[in-house]
Amino acid sequence: MAAVLTADIVHSTRLRTEDLRALLATEAGLLAGTRFEFYRGDSFQAFLPDAGGALRLVLAVRTAARRLNQEYGEGLIDVRCALGLAPGDAAPERVRTASGPAFLLSGRSFDALAEGERLAIASELEEANLPLSLLARFTDHLLRQLTGRQAAVIFELLGNRSQQDVARVLGKSPATISQHAHAGAWPELERLLRDYNTLIDRYALS
């Protein structure tokens, strides 16, 4: 089962040029290993041949952006994301011109995001869509509550670093990192990642 991520950076025009360039470079690094393409300056699509890692990628993409809110103001910078999950898609030559089922699901789900919504997940399997939608809404709710400092910690933890390693990377005490991780709902986000993979396996979406 393939996944397609459609995304754009919220309030990218508020970013200084150098900060936008740095964020785009970070996002491109996160997308390495996928087939991806940027367009319109602040939007991108990525093709993942295995849907299993798609939600973790979404968390990384969004926390990478939300870290900037330490400087720009809480809740300002974020990334709107939609995942489409479908079988049968092969890696396309050009992402922007691809029209397979996962691309169509992702694009339509992205276009259907309501104001304030920043995550949708849809599959071709109708019975999987309700639990996927509920999971997406709860994940989105938690991500939208993150402060910039919490997002910076969650971003590093998503790279499979220990809290001690994150403390060294960010130049903070382990106690501060632990506080931000719990306030940022890291245990709940880990649980949601497991739940997502359980759904992927249950509905044979991997």
pLDDT digits (tens, 9 = 90+) for 98-156: 888 999 999 999 999 999 999 999 999 999 999 999 999 999 999 999 999 999 999 99
Query: Where do the domains of the chain lie, and which CATH numbers do they carry?
Result: 2-202 (3.30.70)
Query: Are the beta carbons of 123 and 86 closer than 8 angstroms?
Result: yes
For the entire predicted model, the pTM comes to 0.96
Beta strand spans in the chain (E): 2-10, 35-39, 43-48, 78-86, 119-123
3-state DSSP assignment of residue 100: coil
Q: What is residue 111's DSSP assignment?
A: H
Cα(196)–Cα(51) distance, integer angstroms: 10
For range 86-106, the mean pLDDT? 83
201: left (phi over 0), alpha (psi -120 to 50) or beta: alpha
Model confidence at 206, in pLDDT bands (50, 70, 90)?
Answer: low
Segment among 87-96, 140-149, 171-180 with least mean pLDDT: 87-96
Nearest partner of 196 among 67, 87, 57, judged by Cα: 57
β-pair type (119-123, 78-86): parallel
The yes-or-no verdict on residue 92 having pLDDT over 80 is no
Rounded percentage of the chain residues whose pLDDT exceeds 90: 89
**What is the Cα–Cα distance from 149 to 151, expressed in whole angstroms?**
5
